């Protein structure tokens, strides 16, 4: 079964909007695991507008499933990840002022940089994944960096699927097939939801993990967190 990793950034956003510590990020991470999630994802940004670097440290002893930290590998981020040593680090080429992730790596142009960063994480026992668009030459470029996995950036699929265009899955299926043939693990994330997750999973061979935050939290406002996690797990079987 494809693993469900819950991105808890939105919980930190809600906390930060009022100050204080409600809702508590660590408690929420413990709860989603108790409800069945097989991983917890955070994406600390330099301005700490949602997840703070200290949150990453506080979560470490409480995440007993897979702990995934996403982010642009600037110096402070690299130092944080090497300190915390999560299960996986997902490298995302975010601009400092990006509202949310909006593009995958150019794995060819950034090959040398990615090789060096990935090697440092792997030497410290941290599995690496890099955020990529569903473009075959970028998948081949990812293989050349030495990464363990790729994470397919799924916003374009989600948008087209919402318009009824099921053919939007094709480049993702082809990219996953190529990645598998090259020995790369395949993760996916961004705008996946209860509406599209089953179709996506059913068409992507050997999908190892999905990271879902914004949609899952939004759906939980109406349906409840525990119920929504169970719904995702059912659709991912």
Catalytic residue among 38, 66, 190, 209: 190
Say which of 38, 66, 70, 209 is annotated catalytic.
Answer: 70
Q: Report the chain's C-alpha Rg in angstroms.
A: 17
The catalytic residue among 43, 151, 209, 219 is: 43
Please work out, in degrees rounded to the nearest 5, the angle formed at the alpha carbon of residue 86 by the alpha carbons of 149 and 49. Answer: 100
Which two tokens mark 204? 């992507």
Residue 63 dihedral angles phi and psi, to the nearest 5°: -95, 105
Q: What angle do CA 222, 228, 233 make, to 5 degrees?
A: 165
85: alpha, beta or left? (left if phi > 0; alpha if psi -120 to 50): left
**50 flagged as catalytic:** no
Active site residue 159: no
Residue pair 121/160 in contact (Cβ under 8 Å)? The answer is: no
- Between β-strands 149-153 and 185-189, what pairing exists: parallel, antiparallel or unpaired? parallel
> How is residue 208 written in tokens?
């190892």
Can you tell me the distance from the alpha carbon of 154 to that of 204, in angstroms, rounded to the nearest whole number?
Answer: 12
Active-site annotation, residues: 43, 70, 190
């Amino acid at each position: 079964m494809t693993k469900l990793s819950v991105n808890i950034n939105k919980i930190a956003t809600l906390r930060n909007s009022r100050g204080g510590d409600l809702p508590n990020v660590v408690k929420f991470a413990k709860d989603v695991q108790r409800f069945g999630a097989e991983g917890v994802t955070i994406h600390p940004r330099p301005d700490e507008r949602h997840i703070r670097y200290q949150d990453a440290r506080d979560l470490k002893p409480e995440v007993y499933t897979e702990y995934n930290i996403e982010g642009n590998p600037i110096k402070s981020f690299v130092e944080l990840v090497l300190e915390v040593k999560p299960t996986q680090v997902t490298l995302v080429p975010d601009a400092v002022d990006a509202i949310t992730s909006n593009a995958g790596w150019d794995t060819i142009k950034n090959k040398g940089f990615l090789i060096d960063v990935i090697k440092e994480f792997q030497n410290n026992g941290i599995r690496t994944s890099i955020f990529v668009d569903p473009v075959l030459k970028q998948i081949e470029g990812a293989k050349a960096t030495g990464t363990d996995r790729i994470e397919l950036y799924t916003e374009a699929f989600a948008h087209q699927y919402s318009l009824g265009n099921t053919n939007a899955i094709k480049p993702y299926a082809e990219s996953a097939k190529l990645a598998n043939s090259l020995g790369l693990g395949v993760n996916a994330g961004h705008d996946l939801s209860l509406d599209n997750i089953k179709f996506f999973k059913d068409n992507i061979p050997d999908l190892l993990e999905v990271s879902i935050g914004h949609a899952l939290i939004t759906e939980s406002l109406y349906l409840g967190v525990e119920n929504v996690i169970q719904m995702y797990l059912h659709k991912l079987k």
